[in-house]
Structure 1
Amino acid sequence: MLSKKSRYQSTPHFTDPDIFPGLQTRPIGPSTGVIEHEVVEGDRLDQLAQHYYKDDRLWWRIVDANPEFTCPRSVLDKAMVGRVILIPRVGE
């Protein structure tokens, strides 16, 4: 059961719970990135969230703002060093 405040609250379940009883992929709308962050070796999503939002649990906002990444770990792997990621505005 999900909290009423969960960002997954309106995410649909798979149509056949006997095959997989979980949730489908959560749709992510466009995000307005207002800060461009150049990834450096050692960056971690929780640390970036703490730096920009003062809350390390908001790392998912950064992942949502960069939909080309299919996995949160891929956002900051070594291949990302030197690339720019978007940090969305708080409250969006």
Structure 2
Amino acid sequence: MIDRNSRYAKSAVLHLTDAEGREIAYLDRRIIPDSPRIAARIAVEDGDRLDLIAHRAYGDARQSWRVMDANPDPEPLTLADTPGRRLGLTQPGEA
């Protein structure tokens, strides 16, 4: 069961049969949009982390994946390293 707020909530459950005939369930790939729709912006504060930003923005620290999706970066864990940086936020419910 996948939580409705999970980044994988809309992913299809696929099945594979292995060489011994066992069925293995797995989640389809989640494609991150090339151009996410930015609904708002939030400023990074001193000492911030992505979970703290997600909690301020969405009321749920587990939604940090939304901040990362809205701000494509080769090093997403550094998004909160610069106080004053303005990060884009997607609308809740968009994945």
Alignment counterpart, residue 56 of structure 2, candidates 46, 51, 55: 51
**Which structure 2 segments of 5+ residues have no match?**
12-26
* Aligned-partner residue type, residue 71 of structure 1: E
User: Cα distance, 1:6 vs. partner?
Assistant: 5.8
TM-score between the two structures when normalised by the length of structure 1:
0.65
Q: 1:76 to 1:27 in 2, by over 3 A?
A: same
Taking only the aligned residue pairs, the percentage that are identical comes to 33
* Aligned-partner residue type, residue 84 of structure 2: G
1:7-86 → structure 2 map (5 Å cutoff): 7=8, 9-11=27-29, 27-29=31-33, 30-67=35-72, 69-77=73-81, 80-86=82-88
TM-score between the two structures when normalised by the length of structure 2:
0.63
State the distance in 1 between where 2:78 and 2:46 align: 13
Once superposed, what is the RMSD of the aligned Cα atoms? 2.4
Computing the radius of gyration over CA atoms, which structure comes out larger, 1 or 2? 2
* Aligned-partner residue type, residue 91 of structure 2: R
Q: 1:44 to 1:35 in 2, by over 3 A?
A: same
User: Relative to total residues, which structure has the larger helix share, 1 or 2?
Assistant: 1
User: Relative to total residues, which structure has the larger strand share, 1 or 2?
Assistant: 2
